[in-house]
């Protein structure tokens, strides 16, 4: 479960921000995850609950926002929506697609007290 490693990095980043900015606790964590990033949102929520224990984010709510997949089709020169890797272009059926968005994961926002 790589979600546990992702959460460990996220909690470390939160604790670094706590040291820099001096807040006491985190009330809400907003994370953006691309649909092509192979991250299971339910597993990430579980891993966050476990990984945040004993930190400033222990009782924080994790809000996950999904980033849609988007790519550029080299066959028809259109920007298209991608729901999974390996899918063909919905406009022309081609498979030469350059992924532009949907693989990322970002810690977008912290609501702190």
Question: Within a domain: residue 60?
Answer: yes
Report the CATH number at residue 54. Answer: 3.30.2320.50
Question: Within a domain: residue 46?
Answer: yes
- Cα 98 to Cα 53: distance, rounded to the nearest angstrom: 39
10 Å CB burial of residue 5 (0-12, 13-18, 19+) is exposed
DSSP one-letter code for 113: -
Question: Within a domain: residue 28?
Answer: yes
Domain that residue 60 falls in:
2-68+102-112
Question: Within a domain: residue 24?
Answer: yes
Question: Within a domain: residue 97?
Answer: no
| Nearest by Cα to 58 from 17, 22, 94, 14 | 14
Mean pLDDT on 58-86: 96
Mean pLDDT on 35-41: 93
Domain count, the chain: 1
Is residue 106's pLDDT more than 90?
Answer: yes
Mean pLDDT on 31-58: 95
Q: What is the pTM of this model?
A: 0.86
Is residue 1's pLDDT more than 70?
Answer: no
Mean pLDDT on 103-113: 95
Question: Within a domain: residue 84?
Answer: no
Per-residue model confidence (pLDDT) at position 2: 87
Question: Within a domain: residue 54?
Answer: yes
Is residue 77's pLDDT more than 90?
Answer: yes
Question: Within a domain: residue 47?
Answer: yes
């Amino acid at each position: 479960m790589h979600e546990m490693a992702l959460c460990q990095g996220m909690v470390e980043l939160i604790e670094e921000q706590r040291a820099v900015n001096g807040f006491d606790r985190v009330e809400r964590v907003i994370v953006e995850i691309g649909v092509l990033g192979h991250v299971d949102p339910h597993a990430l929520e579980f891993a966050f609950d476990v990984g945040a224990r004993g930190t400033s984010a222990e009782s924080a709510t994790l809000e996950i926002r999904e980033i849609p997949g988007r790519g550029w089709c080299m066959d028809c020169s259109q920007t298209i929506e991608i729901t999974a890797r390996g899918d063909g272009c919905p406009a022309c059926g081609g498979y030469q697609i350059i992924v532009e968005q949907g693989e990322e994961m970002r810690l977008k926002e912290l609501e702190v007290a």
